Each structure stands twice: as C-alpha cells, then as structure tokens.
Amino acid sequence: MTIFYLVKIPLTTKENFRKVIVKPVIKNKTIINVKFEKILIGKKDTYGIKNHCDNYKKIEICKLDQLINISNSSCIPRIINSLNSSCTLTNGQHIQKIEELKPGTILLNGFEGIIDIDGIQKNLSGTQLINFHNSTLKINNQSYINYDLVPLPAFPAVLQPAPIEKNRIELLSLEALKEFHIDNIRRINLLKTAAISNSIFSLGAIAITAISLTIFRKFWRKNQNNALEITHMSPANIDLSKLKDHSKDENTYININNIPYF
C-alpha cells in the first residue's frame, strides 16, 4: 500500500529581493514625500511594501497583494540606482529628529547637539545613523541601552549543609516508565512460558510413569499365572488286600519296676 501526502505549497518567485528601509532626510526644513517606508529591490523591479509581510525565522515572505510595483517611479528607484530623479517635496516639521529604528540603531535626522557614549561626549550636526553595541547612549538626557545578556555560570557552594534523608522518592520519567512496563510484560511472558513448560514436563512424566506401571503390572500377572499352574495326576490303583492290619497285634507292656534307677 502506498500513501501519498498532498501538501499545499505557495507559489513564489525564484528571485530574492533586498529589503531597504527608506527614511526622508530633513533639508532646509523640507523632506521628500516618501509613500513607502520599506521597499524591496530586485534585479529589475522595485516594490513598495504597503502591508506587513510574514516572517519565518529570518526569511520574510510577501504576497503580491501586499506589494506595489514602483519600478517606473521617477523618485525612489532612481535615487537608489544613482540616477537623475524627480521627487515631490513636503514640509518636514513632523519628522522626528531622534528615532530608534531598532535596539542598537539610532537615526539622528537634522540633529545638532552633544551625545554621550559610555562617558565619552561628541558634538554632532546633521543627519547621522548611530550603531552601538554593549554600550549606553545618552542624547538630550534620554538613555538608550543595548547590552547582550549573558547568564552567569553557576558556582559550587563552598559550604553546603547536607540534609538528613529520611525518605527518598524516586520519580521516573515517561521513558523510564515505558521501559519498566515493557520489561514487566517481558518477564510475565517468560514466567508464563516457564509455567507452560513445567506443566508439559509434569504431564509427560505422569504419562510415562502410568504407562510403565501398566506394562509392569501386565508382565507381573503373566509370571504369576505361569507359577500357579497345577499339574493334574491320575489316581493310582491300590490293592487293599496287601495292606497289613496292625489292629490285631498284641499290646506290648512295659514294666516300670524293671527300670533301673539312675
């Protein structure tokens, strides 16, 4: 029998795209009118992401209905490819001058001031992208921290009192219980096999003993019958006239007085 599994696989393109975050830069209090904050750049086409895409570990998959093709736009795609562009400008008063894009990444847009990194101060002016790691960044009394949390290893105790154990309960895992159950079944089967073997051996011994006794009894009876056979003899002819009659003989008397003394 053959089993077939039907798995629904979404249809994807063979090309991998590069994801870029687009942030307008303040210049003379104006910015470029950016419609999409995140775009996908391929070999030929450029797409703007209008909705949130699905993330699978470190892979981001976007559906076609979540994208808009902006390859023919005269602004962002041409700027990325270092070509002459034609963009629409707008007022940049609503743009944040300090924006944390992600932990460890700060965008300073048209910023002028002093920043402090682990006690070291620097004076910055203009648009800056700051990446920091295992450090503390202070900007306008606002702290930004990015540290890797490393768990400390457990050290053995120098002095640790050992409690007096009265009762110890051993808890078995699921695998141990399963093996214990299988081992019990195996032992029970062995005991059943041994009991059946002993029963068969006992019945065989009893049968052999009974057959031996029966054969011995038959031979014994046969020998007894042979020993008790009687030989029949015919009666002999006796002549009664030749028998002597002792009743007519004279009695012999003994005189006690003639017996000598001893």
Q: What does the DSSP assignment read for 78-113? A: HHHTT------EEE-TTS-SEEEEETTEEEEEEEEE
Task: Please measure the distance between the N-terminal and C-terminal CA atoms of the chain and give it in whole angstroms.
Answer: 130
**Domain that residue 113 falls in:** 104-149
| Single pTM value for the model | 0.48
Instruction: Note whether 184 and 138 are same-domain residues.
Output: no
CA 115 to chain centre: 53
Instruction: Note whether 47 and 80 are same-domain residues.
Output: yes
Check residue 16 and give its pLDDT.
87
Residue 55 lies in a domain: yes
Check residue 230 and give its pLDDT.
47
Instruction: Note whether 17 and 90 are same-domain residues.
Output: yes
- CA angle, 160 as apex, 154 and 162 as ends, to 5°? 125
Check residue 248 and give its pLDDT.
53
Residue 90 lies in a domain: yes
Q: Tokens standing for 138? A: 């202070």
Check residue 255 and give its pLDDT.
53
Instruction: State how far the Cα of 64 lies from the Cα of 45, in Å rounded to an integer.
Output: 13
| Structural domain count of the chain | 3
Residue 154 lies in a domain: no
Per-10-residue mean pLDDT for the chain, 262 residues long?
Answer: 64 83 86 88 90 82 88 89 88 86 88 89 89 90 83 62 59 63 74 78 82 81 61 52 54 52 45
Amino acid at 109: N
Check residue 47 and give its pLDDT.
92
Of 65, 76, 1, 7, nearest in space to 36 by CA: 76
Residue 85 lies in a domain: yes
- The residue count of the chain comes to 262
Residue 228 lies in a domain: no
